[in-house]
Amino acid sequence: MKVGFARTCTLTLSLVLLLTGCWDTKDINKHYLPAVMGIGKGDSQKYKVILQIPIANEKTQILEKEAESISKAIDLIRTDSEKSIDLVHLRLMLIDIQLAQDGIGDIINFAVRANDISIKGLVSIVDGDFDKTLYHQISPTPEVSSYDFFSEEAGWTPNQSILRIWEAYRNQESLSEDMGIPMLKDGKQTLFTFKGTAVMRKDRLVGSLNQEETLLYNLFKGKYTGGTIEVAKNTSVLIEHAKVNHHTKWTEQGPFLQTDIQLNVVVTESPHGKSADIIEKDLSEKLSKQFDQTWKKIHSLKADALGIGLIFRPQSKEEKIKEWKTVWFPKLVQKIDVKVNILNEIYFKEKSSKQNEGDMLKRGTKL
């Protein structure tokens, strides 16, 4: 009896140990949880950090400080704010284009190292007025919308590139690929307007792709669901499926890559009487040309944003992998071949070109 009582007492008292978990605890309503962090060039100091904090009444509170390092700036914001600031729910990092030109390596390293920032957060570059974009609000603004802009489960389309912190970290360290970061500025009706993709060499911005080129960039990387391509006036197709095949070869001059892209599309819009064959032909010619131009543009920047080094990795020896970005990528020769297959025209029957000619003849005789 006595032993049992003592045991129960010890057991109950030992629950006190669990209180160690409440060390330094702070209530949830004493927290600011920023969703967006903007990192720009300061007026007098190296960095300017702007935090967007969603608050309960559907508004966004914005806090800003300047310092020589990011964490110092956050610390200064903490000093002045009424509540504690917790970065665990940070979802989007916006970096000023001026900083990106000097290199974002330090910023990405900070984000990976800080153990309260989740590395699945998104990175993008502000191409335009940095302050205006960060202070831009459209009402009513459900706070998450800045993140939903990119979310594949919400507002993302293949016209936008997408990059997460861990991908940025991986690609800046990687021997085989560089990265493309989405660029945006404040929008008129929406929160942001997508401007294109920044092409980075290592961690430095060296050039950019526009929206159409971004679609091709995504297509090449296999992210295409729901992309619409305009073939010509009044004619557009929707990509249903894309198959990208790479044939790699090491020649004496260097690497050679033949890429075959097979697109399965449906016609969403076409002028009356334009046959599928013609659309197919137009589209594959147009895309081949565009791909070629985009590829030349990226190649001339000497930045392997398409990650071609990875495609060559299976065939390369370790020395060649190490020299990929400096020696072999500039020597790379690439040919891109696009084949288009029109699946159907959704609710319309497909017109073969022969039938079409017959139609025209009839019309001709009537006239």
Partner 1 sequence: MNKYLLLTIFLLLHLAAIFTFFPDRIIASTSKGHWEAITLIFMLEIVFIWFYMNGLSKFPGETIVDICLRTIGRWGACVLLLPLVVFLMGQMVLLIYYQTSQIRAVLLQSTPTAATTFLFLVLCFYGAWKGLAALIHASIGLFVLFIPFILFSMLIGIKNFNFNYIFPVWDGTFSFLHHADFYICFTILSSFLFLGMIPQKERPVRFGRLAVGLGVVYVFGMGSVYIPLLVFGQESAVLLQYPMLMASDTIDLEWVVFDWLPSFSVVSSSGLAVLMASVLLWMSSSLLHQLLVPKLNIKWMVSMLSLLVYILCLFIPNIEVMNRYLQLNAFVSLFCVIGLPMMIFILGRWRGKKVST
Contact positions vs partner 1 (CB under 8 A) = 14, 17-18, 20-21, 23-24, 88-89, 115-116, 118-120, 151, 153, 164, 166, 169-170, 173-176, 310-311, 313-314, 316-318, 321
Start-to-end C-alpha separation, the chain: 113
- Identify which of residues 321 and 343 has a Cβ nearer to partner 1 in the complex: 321
CB of 108: closest distance to partner 1 in angstroms?
Answer: 11
CA gap 98, 118 in Å, rounded: 25
Which uninterrupted H or E stretch holds 244?
A: strand 235-250
Measured from the CB atom, is 119 or 238 closer to partner 1?
119
Nearest to 238 by CA among 270, 281, 275: 270
Q: Least distance in Å: CB of 291 to partner 1?
A: 21
| One-letter identity of residue 222 | G
Question: Could you give the residue ranges of the DSSP H alpha helices within the chain?
Answer: 2-14, 70-80, 97-102, 105-113, 130-135, 145-148, 165-173, 211-221, 276-300, 308-312, 318-322, 329-331, 353-366
Nearer to partner 1, 99 or 311 (CB): 311
Min dist. Cβ of residue 23 to partner 1 (A): 4
Cα atoms in the Cβ-side hemisphere of radius 13 Å centred on 269 = 9
**Is the C-alpha dihedral spanning 318, 321, 323, 327 positive or negative?**
positive
3: tokens are: 């032993």
Q: Cite the DSSP H helix spans in 81-142.
A: 97-102, 105-113, 130-135
Nearer to partner 1, 136 or 325 (CB): 325
Nearer to partner 1, 47 or 156 (CB): 156
Q: Which is nearer to partner 1, 162 or 283 (CB)?
A: 162
Shortest reach from residue 350's CB to partner 1, in Å: 36
Nearer to partner 1 among residue 82 and residue 318 (C-beta): 318
Q: How many CB atoms lie within 10 A of CB 77?
A: 20
Q: Which two tokens stand for residue 252?
A: 């004496």
CA–CA separation, 284 vs 292, rounded Å?
Answer: 12
Closest separation in Å from C-beta 64 to partner 1: 25
Q: How far is the CB of 315 from partner 1 (least distance, A)?
A: 8
Closest contact distance (angstroms) between CB of 367 and partner 1 is 59
